[in-house]
Structure 1
């Protein structure tokens, strides 16, 4: 099954010809010992990504206030020429306020050039932690705040592909400048031989629904990957070999198709673990070839 023709057609109508696709990684704010990354440690992570053959210079961070994420990461981003897809957690009013305050403080301290885009919430709809109307209002709220601060970057939301194709959540699509899609064939119990087709089917379904609700809205891949270790999930087997195969078949194709944030730079869980780099910062499989 191949969707490249349709994907290319949608890209042609939504992306300026002069704009390159973003190639990014999801990067967590903690170290293997659960301590928070310092600015020096953020710098090391960003430099390792930039040293890859793809010269990764975009990252997705999950939060703004937690672990002093932006306070510590933004100086590292500025010193390395890295741009950030900023995360703003929406759950719990006090936390949401702290997240907005941290983002505002980072903008006042460091300007706006480091901001690639802003995601208001992450998989809130999948977890059913909020309603579509509430989340949509939070997207409008954050967009209004950052526009007043001179930020013109796109503001959207990240969620699973299953949440995006659910018409009950269309109010969120309407509120978004971009839609961030998370999709994992591993969690769909797919054998690695079918994983590429399973992923691109979910991507196409998401594209189709988003375009039907709000034509011209770009769908970014904000999470996908394959675990290097962990439990077997249906026909899906976690292994370095399969993670390498998924990278070659899906990441290399996506890098030519749209904006991508691979999951993940490091992941210290072992059941399953999606981390591409081990605890010592060494890539666990070959990332060349695309």
Structure 2
């Protein structure tokens, strides 16, 4: 099957191919059994991401949702030392929903800055204050029972709190943004948040757009519509793609079907046209939310062999595939066997001729 590059996607990002961009996955604070991830868990996850076979580029960045270690009050999350150990870039996250204060989040971050120093701060590429908070209080968020969210006034306050907390620290000049759905960004009542942030993180899932003809064959059109809507709302501010993907298993959603083939197709037609062009954190490397019936994980049990071939079509413009050591070894073995076979045939012919 031939995959054409959706040029509208590339053009809407407004980036040259040579521009630096970050490539990674999202990472929650708990395992698929809802146990807190420890440093070793994060290390294995980050290491797997960098060693995925046939990966189109190096997935060496991680988007976090919180600075706090699960089941603690304000202890820095153990993803931080894991990122240092694996040299993984970090898009930090501050959880904002269901609270009137982010003091504990800021305490955890401040402690990490002091404890780990430049080994930590040099890895931070940005900070997202919140994740889909404004979507949760929208009509569609309430309809889908998305949980407790926050309004734009509170989000602006939290963003200002973060800037004040970082003043005078090595992270004082790090981009501060917010992550939300494209519908939240397109909602004019949330413009105050756009005015306050340095970047807009947007979560784009054609699979869930059941009112837009969301069969996999229409995924590119739905994705472009959502992305362009975010870009239009953002004005001149950069848009980072903080979540996107297609489930391998799960329930039908409108016309969308969760299958391995469709997940692979989405990777090819969407992923391969944005990797290396804009900051992307794919959803996701390994499923860790047991409450979500749709499973998006690229790999099972953190194996470096993904559930489908990650290599991109030659005409996609994506970075070249890496981590091909096994393939090279196999190719070498085949070449050796072929050479030996030819040698044996020649010797057999020679002996026959002499006889």
- Give matches, 1:233-272, under 5 Å: 233-268=253-288, 269=290, 271-272=293-294
Tell me which residue corresponds to 2:310: 287
Counterparts of 2:97 and 2:168, CA distance in 1: 23
After superposition, the Cα gap between the structure-2 partners of 1:173 and 1:39, relative to the gap in structure 1 and judged at 3 Å, is: same
Counterparts of 1:48 and 1:285, CA distance in 2: 15
Whether 1:191 aligns to 2:215 is yes
* Residue 171 of structure 1: how far off its partner (Å): 0.4
Tell me which residue corresponds to 1:148: 168
Give the structure with higher Rg (CA): 2
Counterparts of 2:102 and 2:31, CA distance in 1: 24
Higher relative contact order (CA 8 A, sep 6+): 2
Whether 1:11 aligns to 2:15 is yes
Tell me which residue corresponds to 1:158: 179
* Residue 280 of structure 1: how far off its partner (Å): 4.8
Counterparts of 1:4 and 1:42, CA distance in 2: 32
Tell me which residue corresponds to 2:300: 278
Q: Decide whether the 8 Å contact of 2:102 with 2:158 is kept in 1.
A: no
SS in 2 for 1:3: helix
Q: Which runs of 5+ in 1 are unaligned?
A: none
* Residue 123 of structure 1: how far off its partner (Å): 0.3
Q: Which runs of 5+ in 2 are unaligned?
A: 1-5, 138-148, 313-317, 319-355
* 32-41 or 152-161, which deviates more: 32-41
- RMSD of aligned residue pairs (Cα, Å): 2.0
TM-score using structure 1 length: 0.90
TM-score using structure 2 length: 0.74
After superposition, the Cα gap between the structure-2 partners of 1:94 and 1:133, relative to the gap in structure 1 and judged at 3 Å, is: closer
* 236-245 or 111-120, which deviates more: 111-120
SS in 2 for 1:204: helix
* Residue 2 of structure 1: how far off its partner (Å): 4.5
* Residue 40 of structure 1: how far off its partner (Å): 1.5
* Residue 153 of structure 1: how far off its partner (Å): 1.3
Counterparts of 1:226 and 1:44, CA distance in 2: 23
Counterparts of 1:163 and 1:102, CA distance in 2: 28
Tell me which residue corresponds to 2:327: none
Counterparts of 1:187 and 1:4, CA distance in 2: 19
* Residue 95 of structure 1: how far off its partner (Å): 6.2
Q: Decide whether the 8 Å contact of 2:23 with 2:276 is kept in 1.
A: no
Counterparts of 2:112 and 2:270, CA distance in 1: 34
SS in 2 for 1:221: strand
Q: How many residues align?
A: 281
After superposition, the Cα gap between the structure-2 partners of 1:71 and 1:63, relative to the gap in structure 1 and judged at 3 Å, is: closer
Tell me which residue corresponds to 1:171: 192
Whether 1:116 aligns to 2:131 is no
Deviations for 1:14-33, whole angstroms, at most 9, x for unmatched residues?
xxx97411111111222233
Deviations for 1:45-66, whole angstroms, at most 9, x for unmatched residues?
1111111322211110111114
